[in-house]
Amino acid sequence: MLTRLRRRISEMVVAPSYKGFKGMSSKFWPAWSKSTGQVNLDKARKLYWNIDEATNLGSGISKRVINSTPEFMGLPWSSTGDEFVDELLNDCIHIHWPSEIISAVRDSCRDSKSVLRLRQRPASDPLASVEEINSGYLEVIPPEEVEIFYADFASRRIERALITHSVDEVKRNDDGSPLLVKGEWQVHKRTIIEEITSDSYTFFDEETNEVLTDMGKGNPWGFVPLVEVFNDFDASLEGGQSDLTSVQPFINAFHDVLGQALVSHKQHAIPKAVFRVQDVQNFLLNNFPDSFEQDENGNPVFGTFTGEVSWKGTEIVFLNAEEGAEFLEARSVLGDSKTLLEFLIDCMVIAAEVPRWVLMLDVGAADRVEMLAFTNKLWRKRMNFAKPIQEICKMILVVNKRDPVMPKFKWEDIDPNQLVNKAQALQMVTMSLELAQERQLISDATGREYLRQYVPNMKSPAEEETDAKKNLVLSAPPNSPAGRGPNGQGNPRNISGQVQG
C-alpha cells in the first residue's frame, strides 16, 4: 500500500518522463542492484544494542567501536573570518545542535547512513527565545523512513523528499468522546506521508489515500531542509558503509569461543570421583543400595542395578583393602580459550581501526602504532562528516537571511601530543617568518598567509594588520636585545611600548 501511494505521489508532482535520480527509468539509467553492499539495519542495530542471542556474547564490543568515532572526533569550530557568521554557526554547532550531530554521526557509523533535518520553532511559541528561533534545531530521521529525490544525477540539490510518520491517535465514539474498552484507551496507528519540496509541505494519509489540506503549508525557505549523512561513502555502492561490517566476523567467532569456554568450564567445575574396584556389583550393592530393586524384605536384589546412582548419604564409602578412590583434579580449558579470545580482540582492533584502550582494555601506555591508525581514521571521519555539517550551516544562514557561505572548520587535536608538536612547530615557523620579514625577504601579508595553515581562524592579512596595531607590546631598553631588534640595528618597527592605534 505504501509503495503504491508513493508511486502515486511521484506521478502527481513529477512529470512522467522524469522522476529524479532514484526514480529514473531503467531505460535511461541502469537500475542499481541492492543485493550487494546494503547494510541490514535490523542486524546492525541488534549488534549495537547487544540483543541478538546469536551473537550477544561478543557484540557488546560493537557499542565501543561505534561510539569511539563521535566521542573522539569532536565537533568543529567555524572560522570564516566573519564575526557574526562564526558566532551564529558556533552557537548552533556547540549549543543547539551537538546532540543531534553526534547522534547522526553515530547512526551513520552503525547504519551506513542517517538523515538530518533542519527545523525552526515558530515565533508564536511562548517558550522559544530569539536565539533558539534563529539557530533552529535538528532532527535525526532513520534512513528507512525517508526517500530523497535529487534534481538530477549530477546535482546535489534535493528536489523533494518523502518522510513516513507513524502517529498514534485515540479512537473516538460517534459523539467525539474517547473510546474506552475495559478501562483502556483504544489507539489507532495512523501512517502519514510528508512530502517536502522547495515550495511546500504536503501531507498524505496512507489509509484513506487523501491529501490532508489542513496540515499542508508553504515552504518559505526555498529549499528542502534535509541532508544525507553517509559514513565512508563508496561510489561503487552508491551509499555508505557500516563500521560493524568488518568487525562482525570476529564478533561471531568471539561469541562462539566464549560460549564453548563457558560450557567447558561448567563441565570441568563439577568434581568427578574415580573408584578403583575389583567387583563393581558388590561395590554398588554395598554403597548404593537404593540403585537396586528391593525384595519383599526391603533388601537390594543382586543383579538388578538400575543404572542411576545417588550421592545422598554417601559420606562414607566402603572399599576392600586393595581398592581405592580419589577425585579428579578439575582442569579448565579457559587457559587456551583466553589466548584465542585475546587474539580475536586483536583482530577486532585491527578491523575497527581503534586502539585496545578504546575497548576499555588495560594495556598501559598507548601503542603508538595503534594510536596512529586511530588518528588517521578520525581524520578521515572528520573530512567525511564535515560536508553534511557544512550543508546544514549554509541552510541556517539562508534562514537568517545571510549569504550561504561555505564555512571553514577547525577541529581540536585528537592526540594531546599533537598539540605540543604543533605549538613547537608554530614557534619555530613564527621565528623564521619574523626573521624573513625583518630581512625584507617577504612581506607581512605573505607571512600572515603562510601562518594561516597553523591558525585557521586568522582574518585577512589587511584585517590582521589593522587589529595587530591594537596589541599591547611591552617596552624594552634600547640597548637590550629586544630593543635592538633581530638585526641588531635598534628597534626597526619603532615600537614605543605603548598601545598602538
Domain holding 282, by residue range, is 271-329
* 157 and 83 belong to one structural domain: yes
pLDDT at 472: 59
* 85 and 190 belong to one structural domain: yes
pLDDT at 426: 76
Closest CA relative to residue 93, chosen from 460, 455, 410: 410
For 209-333, where are the alpha helices, taking DSSP H only? 248-269, 280-287
- pTM reported for the whole predicted model: 0.68
- The residues pairing with 476 across neighbouring beta strands, listed in sequence order, are none
Q: For residue 379, is it within any domain?
A: no
pLDDT at 195: 95
Q: CA 294 to CA 301: how far, in whole Å? A: 6
* 147 and 232 belong to one structural domain: yes
C-alpha torsion sign, points 311, 314, 320, 324? positive
Q: For residue 394, is it within any domain?
A: no
Q: For residue 90, is it within any domain?
A: yes
Closest CA relative to residue 43, chosen from 51, 32, 31: 51
Closest CA relative to residue 110, chosen from 166, 59, 57: 59
* 175 and 91 belong to one structural domain: yes
* 7 and 124 belong to one structural domain: yes
- N residues, the chain: 501
* 323 and 440 belong to one structural domain: no
Low-confidence ranges of the chain (pLDDT < 50): 1-2, 4, 7-37, 365-366, 474-476, 481-501
Closest CA relative to residue 275, chosen from 265, 283, 263, 285: 283
pLDDT at 498: 42
* 30 and 174 belong to one structural domain: yes
* 276 and 222 belong to one structural domain: no
Q: For residue 381, is it within any domain?
A: no
Three cell numbers written together for 54: 546469536
pLDDT tens column, 124-175: 999 999 999 999 999 999 999 999 998 877 667 899 999 999 888 777 777 7
pLDDT at 16: 31
pLDDT at 294: 80
Last residue of a domain, one of 239, 263, 295: 239
Helices 416-438 and 444-451, axial angle in degrees (round to 10): 170
Q: For residue 315, is it within any domain?
A: yes
Q: For residue 24, is it within any domain?
A: yes
Q: CA 137 to CA 117: how far, in whole Å? A: 8
Q: CA 197 to CA 206: how far, in whole Å? A: 19
- DSSP state, residue 178: B
Element holding 165 (H helix, E strand): strand 158-170
pLDDT at 311: 66
Q: CA 291 to CA 294: how far, in whole Å? A: 9
* Residues contacting 13, CB < 8 A, separation 6+: 160, 195, 197
* 28 and 148 belong to one structural domain: yes
First-to-last C-alpha distance (Å) of the chain: 72
Burial class of residue 73, CB neighbours in 10 A (0-12, 13-18, 19+) = buried
Last residue of a domain, one of 280, 299, 329: 329
- DSSP state, residue 335: H
- The residues pairing with 409 across neighbouring beta strands, listed in sequence order, are 78
* 308 and 434 belong to one structural domain: no
pLDDT at 307: 72
Q: For residue 455, is it within any domain?
A: yes
Closest CA relative to residue 361, chosen from 69, 67, 64, 66: 64
Total domains, the chain: 3
* 158 and 21 belong to one structural domain: yes
Three cell numbers written together for 77: 569550530
Q: For residue 436, is it within any domain?
A: yes
The radius of gyration computed from the CA coordinates of the chain, to the nearest angstrom, equals 36
* 23 and 156 belong to one structural domain: yes
Give the Cα-Cα-Cα angle 173, 177, 183 (nearest 5 degrees). 90
Strands 158-170 and 292-294, bridge-based pairing: unpaired
pLDDT at 217: 93
